[in-house]
Structure 1
Amino acid sequence: MLLQQSSLYGYKKMTIPSKGFIEGSFPDELKEALQSVAAELGDVVDDIGAVELTRLTGAFTNEVYQINWPTKNGDPSQKILLRVYGDGIEVFFNRDNEIRTFEYMSRHGHGPRLLCRFPNGRLEEFIHARTLSAADLRKHETAVLVAAKLREFHNLDMPGPRNVLLWNRIRDWIRVAKSICSPRDAEEFRLCVIKEEVNMLEKQLSQDHQEIGFCHNDLQYGNLMLDEETRTITIIVTTLLPMTLQTTSVR
């Protein structure tokens, strides 16, 4: 696949395997990308043997890795995140739109900074915060922090036409589900009924005045991070199922 090095200096194309990332091993192309990113961060990675690649747990369909290397001035090691998207998720979102959205959010201080991207993944800033748990969301203080951050998120003035994408997106999913389900499964999951319900909901919710807002659509605790020192929330935008980046109507 082609990897595009995203930087202030343009794009650098190279190839990188989509499979086979193993702890402690680096494809040559990933080494080159890492050295380029390190240079932009003010470091020099001369000894690849000093670089550590550790797979992180907790991701649902993505493969996520922490990459560490010693800095040239002897400070604590530099960290970045490698995120490789799961198989089959192209059905659920438009990759070009996803990349544009992530880059826009990154430039405006929402989520980690984008360091490098390629068709099925990206290198991004390592957020020094902890991922929330289900128990965290039950705490009033945490819920208030999340609500305030989410209001900022919904008020983002995203580029492009402000059209409601929700309804056609769901219809596309129903169409895909019908194409891969047996008639028995389609009947069991009532796919025809779901389509009728979507039509009904669209009609009802489109009658009154509505505003068009930017929505996350996968705001579960695994996509929320808390900095314990500053008490700030970071919303992580990924391509986890069934997440889609879109504008939808909110009332």
Structure 2
Amino acid sequence: MLWMRLREWVKTALALCPKNVAAEFQLDCMEEDINFLEKMLWRNDQKVGFCHNDLQYGNVMMNDEDQTLTLIDYDCSTYNPVAYDIANHFCEMAGDYHSDTPHILDFNKYPDFEKRHKFVKEYLKPSRKAGGMMSEKEVEQILKDIEKYTVASHIHWALWGIIAGRVNTIEFDYTEYARQRFQQYNLLKHSILNVQ
């Protein structure tokens, strides 16, 4: 569903935005970028599952008594590559939504390789049958996929920011948020996907 949602959001963003904002974010070229990303990222052998797609800390509730976790806010949930969901979770670590500037992101908080590796190994444990072992090759492949899907996560939330800024009345600088996500998208598009 990721690719269909991105294409729909580009159309919505173009319909809502003044021409100068659309030009700043190069929305006219965005559908081409999405087509390219889908071609670069999608493989038939990827693990697909029901994904939350907005797994930031504010959507994870912990019961202090029994230490159980409850996920909330399923409005973005769909079936997607699990690597996308995990990539998005890692990208969300850049946000501090309880600060005076919740729209400002710090991408230095993106987890390092060791933390990502540990997370993926834990994530894959329940999918193994009793006593089954996951191969390091499987872990490495999903880690590679996660890194590539960070690009899709940034474009997803950049488009969301543009749209939300036109339809929400919540006090949040959606345009600046979108600008930061587009900057990360462009940076990673070149460094991770080797796009000129």
Q: TM-score range by the shorter chain?
A: 0.3 to 0.5
Pick the structure with greater CA Rg: 1
More helix by share: 2
TM-score by length of structure 1 reads: 0.31
